[in-house]
Each structure stands twice: as structure tokens, then as C-alpha cells.
Amino acid sequence: MRGLGMQFGKTGAGVARRGKSSPRGFTLVELIVAIAILLVLTTMALPMVQIQVKREKEKALRHDLHEMRAAIDRYKDAADRGLFQVQFGTDGYPPTLRALTEPIEGNGKTYRFLRRIPVDPMTGSKNWGLQSTSDSPNADSWGGENVFNVYSRSQGTGLNGVPYRDW
């Protein structure tokens, strides 16, 4: 074996070794190509990540709206059954969204319908849009008598093409 020297270790087995040392690491061209491939893959993955983030926010919005609307329905049901006294003119609906989080005394029991008012994941605030029974369905302002419905104040549109306000 010309050009290759034999090196013997403790076991006596021969290990072939080159006479010249081989270059280690990457060349500049290989690094540029690898970085270019990573940039292309990152560029392709970024929209998918953005859609996933939006999907998670929409999931949280659906959950929060469902939770608050269910609390409004429970309040209305309890008021209709006479479990506590309600303010005149509210039709048995909570007078404000905050009323769902405050304890209500009635019939020797304490009622609370929400632990807290959730943050709107689309706007980042606790400022939800409210509708009363006397408001028109397309009204942008709340009449102030009672809380019949709650919606997001976000101007955005969901992945399903429906504005968040209409969810």
C-alpha cells in the first residue's frame, strides 16, 4: 500500500492512515448553499406558522364567547326562576358584563356566573362589544339596559371568511 502508512494500536490491529491530512469543515460555497436552503425553508414555513397562531387565537375567541354567552344564559335562567332579584328594565338579563363576575345573593345562596371577564384574543383587551334586547341586530353601540349578547370588537375577518364581530 503505497502512500498509506499503517499504524498499530494496543490491540495490534492495523489502521490505515493517509499521508496527507484531509480538509475538515465546510467550504464557503457549501455554507452559502446551506444557508440559502434554510432561508427558503423558513420562508415557506412562516405563513404556516402565522396561520397556526391565528387559528389558536380564533379557538380562544370561540371558547371565550361560548363561556360568556353561556353565563348570560345561566343568569337569565336563574333570574326567570326567581332565584334572585333583578333590576327593573333588564328583562332578567345581567345589567352589565361585570355583573356576571360579582356575587349575587338570593334565596340564602350566593351566585356567580363567571370567574372573570376574559381578554378578547383578537384585540388584547377586556373591552367586548355588547348588545341589549332593545338594540338592533346590526347596532355598533350598546343601549345600556342589559347584556343580551357579547361579541368581539375586532375589525378582522376569520379564516372562515366571517368577520369576528359576527361570531
The stretch 28-47 carries a mean pLDDT of 90
Report the pLDDT value the prediction gives residue 20, as an integer from 0 to 100. Answer: 62
The stretch 91-111 carries a mean pLDDT of 92
Phi-psi region of 105 (alpha: psi -120 to 50; beta: other; left: phi over 0): beta
Q: Does residue 140 surpass a pLDDT of 70?
A: yes
If you compute the radius of gyration of the chain from its CA atoms, what whole number of angstroms results?
33
What are the boundaries of each domain within the chain?
Answer: 60-167
Q: Above pLDDT 70, what percent of the chain?
A: 86
The residues with which 8 forms a beta bridge, in sequence order, are 14
Report the pLDDT value the prediction gives residue 117, as an integer from 0 to 100. Answer: 96
CB 133 within 8 A of CB 149: no
CA distance 112 to 75: 9
Report the pLDDT value the prediction gives residue 90, as an integer from 0 to 100. Answer: 79
Whole-number mean pLDDT of the chain?
A: 86
User: Can you list the positions of beta strands (E) in the chain?
Assistant: 4-8, 14-18, 104-106, 109-111, 129-131, 149-151
Q: Among residues 136, 140, 144, which one has the least CA distance to residue 153?
A: 140
Apex 121 CA angle, 127 and 114, nearest 5: 60
The pTM (predicted TM-score) of the whole model is: 0.71
CA distance 146 to 131: 8
CB 158 within 8 A of CB 167: yes
CB 113 within 8 A of CB 100: yes
pLDDT tens, position by position, 48-66: 889 999 999 999 999 999 9
Q: In Å, how far from its chain's centre is CA 114?
A: 20
